[in-house]
Structure 1
Amino acid sequence: MALQRRENDLIAGLRDWAAAHGRSRYKEAFIPLDDVWDVFRRVPNRNLDEAFEPAVLAGLLNTLEAAGLIRQVQRRTPEKVSLPVKIRLVPQALPPVTPPMPKWHPALTWLAAHWPTATPKQRAADAAIDRWLKSGPDLFRIPLRERALEIFGTFGNAADFPMPEKVFDTLSSGPLFSNQDRLDELLQAFRPPPPLITETFPLDEGDSHYCRVGTGDVLFVVENSTTWWSLVESLPADHRLGYVAWGLGGTFRASIRAIKAKHGITQIKYFGDLDTSGLRIPLRASSTALELGLPPVQPAERLYRVLQSVGRPRPAAPKEASVTAATANELAGWLPAQCQANGAQLLLDGNRLAQEWVTYRYLQQSPDWYDDVR
């Protein structure tokens, strides 16, 4: 039944009144006649013909009742134009169905009491962590973003967690996620602080940081700060690195101009996400470097091979999910030869590999990646 503007404004006002008074949209709400009058008097152009207002209101209520939006109680006022002493606002929708609760891992049984009131995002995250715990994971302590990728990139739904490594960046409410210490202990994870900067090239503070890690002649650029930390903490004693840079993102092409002769850089290596932006960054930075007479930006060969070996592809962001075969081949052409075919197919499939798949645990336990820094 199509409603006129006055009826629409009246039902909208009645629903606003119910919400303001704590009534659930999933249950009937009784509204006394005095409050119905208050709502009615705020309806624009409610009585253009200057008719008897109780008759106007009675007509509007009858229309709303015929549309199934309200019910008028039987008890009515004694006036000539009788009105119901209260109305019942019909529920707007059925309450959401609570999905079946998992049979919890022993470490999570206490979540049962919170399941009915949890948000859909909290339930999805709780369930993914439950599946991860039941899988018998390696509990070597790793940075939180790496653990998030391991959990939600393997046991989470891509629709719920499009950027699995960043889940805990924003999910901080609910009984499990509001207590950082308890969460970190449960997940055997930690939150690495930004390491001490011993030398900063003359750039804006928010743009980039270069940390001197040795006396070598190699600059190693890492796209994300968590992997930066894991790599720096796992360097072998005999590495050739002079600096490791982090936090550059798309500013790398500009910040590479800060490299001066005094830094003694003869080689620039890069390791980032395997997606379109993660490959465009070093390609464009390499072009700038060559224009400046600097060494080209080269891929960290072993690390990209490891990433393709251990990583689980996830759908890329919509803005990066569609590339032509020519673009995919051009971008993947920067990768090591052994990685190019798989890299191009990854882009064509609309997928990505987050570099956090190469974890602190792997870097600590597997020395085969050392060739990238020697």
Structure 2
Amino acid sequence: MTASELDERQVEQFERRLLADGAVRVGEQELWRALANVFPHRTPGPAERRLLLDALRSIETRGSIRLPPEHGKRWDRSMDPAVPTSVDIVRERSMPSDFSWRTFPWHQNLHWVVQCRNLSTQQVEFLRRVHDGFVNGMFSEPAPLKYRSLQLTGDEKMLASLATTSLFGPSRLTLELLACLPDALPLAWEAVGDGGRMLIFENAGPFAVARRVLAELEARQYDLVAYGGGRSLLAALGHLKTIERPVQSIHYVGDLDDAGLDIAFAARKCAKELGLPALLAADELHRQMLLAAEAFGYSLGWPSQERFSNSARERSLDIISPSLRNQVHNLLRAGRRIPEEVLGPEEFRAAWSILPR
């Protein structure tokens, strides 16, 4: 679940649970307990941490909680993304007492504001700045999301949080309406051919080897090789819409473990949302990884430190070819994994059934 997919009703329920005890600060244990209660079908691991962070930031925009300073000590940085270990409750929120937003002469793109039943002072101030932006032509030229956020809120991350609230949606505000460029990380890629068939790697080592091997081949299966950088790929896929080379197809390969398949599954969904070609598994490389593990003397794979729930695993396995799915499922169920780094020059050549020149 991404920030844009947060259900407003669930966020409100999460907020009520955080405020229910009357405490001035909500600690780590209660944060996770409340999240589990409101989002019972969440995905474990990094996705769960992202859900917690996005939900808390969304609530912060309502003015009822305050996250700790970003570079302070009250953050758990043991995994990516970092999440707060506690949040402060704002008991005396400033609410406009005169319902001034109902009589203000809003820009035509904001006529819907007069129908809002309740708005915090922070929300009204934000909407007034958006109104001024429409009037003054602020959105006539696209700008990065964080730049626009600084313009409108003074905080480079606040606009992304506001975008998860009821102020954004059909017939309301959108990031496109505010002329925000996609907040995409750069994606490292190199051309090895003239076409648009792209192969993305989770890790840097196999990316470098595959780039060299493909460049040697007369006939090659891919024309573009990219490095996704693990879960960073989810924030970098949008970069493909800005490069000069047209991308006609996307194949992906990463570690055969719970975390690696979760990245692949999320990347497939992300590519679809971005309007990119369907992201498919590089079956020939997954097959070669299984063979390589056996050749290394580890036919059962290597021990895995991270294990997902059965339901999360079943979902992620959908990215694997049906012909390999049972074998990979048995590997993960046994608490084993195969790192992508088992792919060396010989393995790539074997997978692509071509010898070097």
- TM bucket normalised to smaller: 0.3 to 0.5
So what's the TM-score if we normalise by structure 2? 0.43
So what's the TM-score if we normalise by structure 1? 0.41
Query: Of the two, which has the highest radius of gyration?
Result: 1
